[in-house]
Structure 1
């Protein structure tokens, strides 16, 4: 069972009440996503960055300078009595070994997605977490977007009646470089895994079957790297609910993220925010603002709320906001989607393992 979004936020998501217990975080990985999390941790009550480590010394020094945290090696972070929590923001191929080592060291663990490109490796990491009994959460930040969470709440409260169809649109503004695509694990594990998680987050029924189609419609170099850049996936849930997901690596108008839950009693929608609320109207047209261009613009608040929820979970106990059930399910669905694409047929999730 996965927990819901934190209830500690009040109004605009600012923690209220007494000063929270401080968790001392060792940041592993100081690249783009590591720098993002370093800034969020510095601004979120209940956290302090207690050490930083990266294989690239310049990256580690930059984050150390911005946070005041000491430079350490990974082994030093894991052994330090001044670190009780680790944030794993390194490359995907290192995640499992770091999760296993952190679990054995008794640290609470936050790990960026995906945990691994292999279900067997995911299981190895999760076995270590469960054996150690340490708190564990994967960074599926979109669960904490207020709009997306409102759709989940409407569905779970029965406000759309019996859910019939969940529709998810997820399109990036520009494709990644082919060199990144070649090592990403493919579109389903790298990009669409967020949407697979959203399906599990909103629909209270596991996915049993996956049918995926894909194409190269944006950049031929992505195809040459062995991947696709355009996809449509249908998920069949155990209770009969259907989820449809469409993805593109290039939406020229901005970062396009929408969700619609349609049921017997109505519909709940999470739409795109504009860059700001200003607009104008003339006799000829209504002119509004464009969409956010970068994922950090679109989801900055969800990343912040993610850390608030993680703190509540680590300090207060209960279920992980996005824990072992979520990460294993999403990985299995992504692998089933890849098999479906290759073989041109629906694939049952239990074929994957």
Structure 2
């Protein structure tokens, strides 16, 4: 297979290296809005580079991986689908709900597969939790507790264009709550706070947030988010049922410190960030995309799944601003 990759930033370069390692991939060709960055990445990885992103579409591709800036996602997804090229795109589909709906509308009649990057679905722990729920071994669920706790904030320029903590960060938790529970979120209540850098306030964002989600069967999910978890990158999910429980992310590198007498500390070290924590999941996700591109399996996470997670994030942002419970149906367009 000959695969293209649009966007050679940190995650794009990592994905290109992963794609190159697959036996089924004969060549990888990369491009970026910054031609020099693409050339440098290509030289470092030993892959091809073209002059600009539009040139990728003249490269006889069997699949396209999109890791470019968010505002480029809709155009690249649509160009790939129009050209008959299966496409994998990092979340989100678009920067807002109308943009996401426009993409879904335009690709709805096509048989060209589109896969959206929610890598936690491919993490062994989250997959095991989902299987435990589906098997019934946990009984009926009453509570899910999800956390995404970054060790340090991203740069101010990133925050200003991120869409906010719920849309940029919490959307992964919202997606796995749906994925693991097999249920839909019908109502949210969210709050946020700022005790860190001023640039969060300037961007209309928060650096810490909490949300309570009510699922369609009455199960409750609590989601906790922050940009200031100095102990390290902490991503976990607790799934609590009437007959048992499953915990994701409680491994030797979880940045947790027990103060109970006689309890030994976890050996660590803590994961420094999401790339390290989810490296195996990213590999599995891209391996699955090869099967999707070859039409061996359907897309496991399409644009409609991304839209549902985005709706929950949007409802949380409305709830935070207006200080009230918000039905997810209120933000559906």
**Partner in structure 2 of residue 79 of structure 1:** 58
**Partner in structure 1 of residue 213 of structure 2:** 235
1:319 aligns with 2:281: no
Cα 1:167/1:218, change in 2 over 3 Å: same
Q: How does 1:159-170 map to 2 (within 5 A)?
A: 159-170=137-148
319-328 or 52-61: which moved more?
319-328
1:300 aligns with 2:288: no
Aligned residue for 2:224, secondary structure, equals: strand
Aligned residue for 2:33, secondary structure, equals: coil
TM-score, scaled to structure 2: 0.92
Aligned residue for 1:330, secondary structure, equals: helix
Residue 45 (structure 1) shift = 3.0
Q: Deviations over 1:283-325 (max 9, x none)?
A: 9873422311121111100100111222223334443211123
**Partner in structure 2 of residue 68 of structure 1:** 47
Aligned equivalents of 1:109, 1:292: Cα separation in 2: 30
Cα 1:274/1:58, change in 2 over 3 Å: farther
Gap runs ≥5 in structure 1: 1-22, 277-282
**Partner in structure 2 of residue 26 of structure 1:** 4
Aligned equivalents of 1:130, 1:25: Cα separation in 2: 23
1:199 aligns with 2:149: no
**Partner in structure 2 of residue 35 of structure 1:** 13
1:253 aligns with 2:238: no
Confirm or deny: 8 A CA contact 2:209 2:226 kept in the other structure. yes
Residue 96 (structure 1) shift = 0.7
Cα 1:72/1:274, change in 2 over 3 Å: farther
Aligned equivalents of 2:178, 2:139: Cα separation in 1: 18
Confirm or deny: 8 A CA contact 1:52 1:72 kept in the other structure. no
Indicate the RMSD between aligned Cα atoms, in angstroms.
1.8
1:189 aligns with 2:177: no
Confirm or deny: 8 A CA contact 1:137 1:324 kept in the other structure. yes
Residue of structure 2 aligned with 1:132, choices 110, 113, 116: 110
TM-score, scaled to structure 1: 0.87
Aligned equivalents of 1:254, 1:220: Cα separation in 2: 22
Confirm or deny: 8 A CA contact 1:193 1:334 kept in the other structure. yes
**Partner in structure 2 of residue 110 of structure 1:** 88
1:338 aligns with 2:317: yes
283-292 or 53-62: which moved more?
283-292
Residue 256 (structure 1) shift = 0.3
Residue 69 (structure 1) shift = 1.5
Q: What count of residue pairs does the alignment treat as equivalent?
A: 324
Gap runs ≥5 in structure 2: 255-260
**Partner in structure 2 of residue 329 of structure 1:** 308
Aligned equivalents of 1:62, 1:143: Cα separation in 2: 32
Aligned equivalents of 2:30, 2:251: Cα separation in 1: 34
Cα 1:212/1:285, change in 2 over 3 Å: closer
